[in-house]
Amino acid sequence: MRRGNTLDKMRLDGLKEMIKLSEMDLGYLIHSVRDARAIGYVVVASATIMVYEWSILLEQEVSLIWYTPWSLVKVLYFLSRYSQILDIGVHFQEHIQTSADPKICYISHDIATVSSGLGIAVSELILIVRTCALYGNSKRIVYGLGLLWTIWVFGNSWPIVKFMKSSVFEHQVSALIPGCYLTKASPLILICFVSLLLLETLMVIMTVWKAFKLFRGSTNLLISRFFPDGIIYYICLFALTLANVLVILLAPHDMLDLLDTLLRVSHSTLCCRLLLGLRETAAIADISAQRGGMVTTLPVSGQMEFGTPGGGCRGRNEYARAVSASRERSQASIANFWITGEVCVRIAIAYVAFIFAVNPLAQITS
């Protein structure tokens, strides 16, 4: 009898252990699904921002970029604007597909890492070009920032290569969990984002310093139009880069690239807006100069200068209309920002509905 009681107790203990293990597996499974869905939301939102930006800025892009002579700025603009298509496509394949093959995930991850790195490097070069323009293309500023950018690019090549070689992918614990499963990665990738944070901090400081010097005692409407947008964009990029650093420090391995797509798209979007603003400012100055205005105060590049209205009522009227149109576009950009946010929320809701329709486990995790 005692032997039978002992066997029953052992069986009961084993059954309890199996139930406990099953509960742990289910909890881990639910947590993994939630993580995968969160990354999917960010990818979908990033794609929405990219397409929406193209639609609202196409007319301005055609008039200010497409029909201008080829130059370094034009090449950088097209690279930054349209290379993100590859990033979005790869990230969709990497994070939304089901039953992902680890070998395919490894290849996709390497492509996405290199593409994002090159795209952000081009965006930073655009920021440097604009900063140099603010300082009148001073040789000291151009050579200094150009050398700094070159050192930054080559210095980050080593941690990126180490990160790609150290990345390990495995099959998801369940076929119900979408996306690739990153189980191991080198923390050296943090160096890239910290250095990016420092580089953007430097350019924010240089922009604010130049704006302070020019705003002091200046009534030029073009100056008041040109600087605030740039400073706001710099701050947005800085905040997003800082958030990505915190994700790398605090998030689990499978969440390391939570903000990668959004960071890439935001760099492209905001830097291209800065270039369009630079071209628009130069166009307003040209209108003022051609209609009797007088070019004064700040050179923004070798060929582009700010203009202020000089003699002639016609010149002042043209200048006022150009600045008024510029302000209206600036206000429209702010309104479009909120519209973009609303569109992203709607897309995220649609994505959640799709997940619920095709993935039974999603209903458990709600």
Q: Kindly report the average pLDDT of the chain as a whole number.
A: 74
* Residue 298 three-state SS: strand
pLDDT of amino acid 331 = 52
Q: Could you read off the pLDDT of 347-357 as tens digits, one per residue?
A: 555 554 544 44
Least confident stretch, 57-61, 81-85, 199-203, 286-290: 286-290
Domain boundaries along the sequence of the chain = 38-281
Least confident stretch, 118-127, 214-223, 243-252: 214-223
Q: Could you read off the pLDDT of 200-221 as tens digits, one per residue?
A: 899 889 988 887 777 765 555 5
Domain 38-281 listed as CATH 1.20.1070: yes
Q: Contact at 8 Å (CB) between 299 and 305?
A: yes
- In order, the DSSP letters of 141-184 are HHHHHHHHHHHHHHHHHHHHHHHHHH-EEE--SSTTS-S-EEEE
Mean pLDDT of the 243-247 span: 88
Compute CA 318 distance to the chain's CA centroid, rounded to the nearest angstrom.
36
Q: Contact at 8 Å (CB) between 344 and 49?
A: yes
For residue 214, give the H/E element and its range.
helix 189-215
Distances (CA, A) of 187 to 35, 71, 167, 216, 256: 20, 38, 10, 45, 10
What is the signed CA dihedral for 224, 230, 233, 234, rounded to 10 degrees? Answer: -120
pLDDT of amino acid 192 = 93
Least confident stretch, 11-25, 39-53, 68-82, 207-221: 11-25
Q: Are strands 181-184 and 294-299 parallel, antiparallel or unpaired?
A: unpaired
The torsion angles phi and psi of 70, rounded to 5 degrees, stand at: -65, 135
Q: Look at residue 150 and tell me whether its pLDDT is greater than 80.
A: yes
pLDDT of amino acid 158 = 93
Report field, pTM of the whole predicted structure over 0.75: no
Q: Look at residue 177 and tell me whether its pLDDT is greater than 90.
A: no
Query: Higher pLDDT residue, 82 or 222?
Result: 82
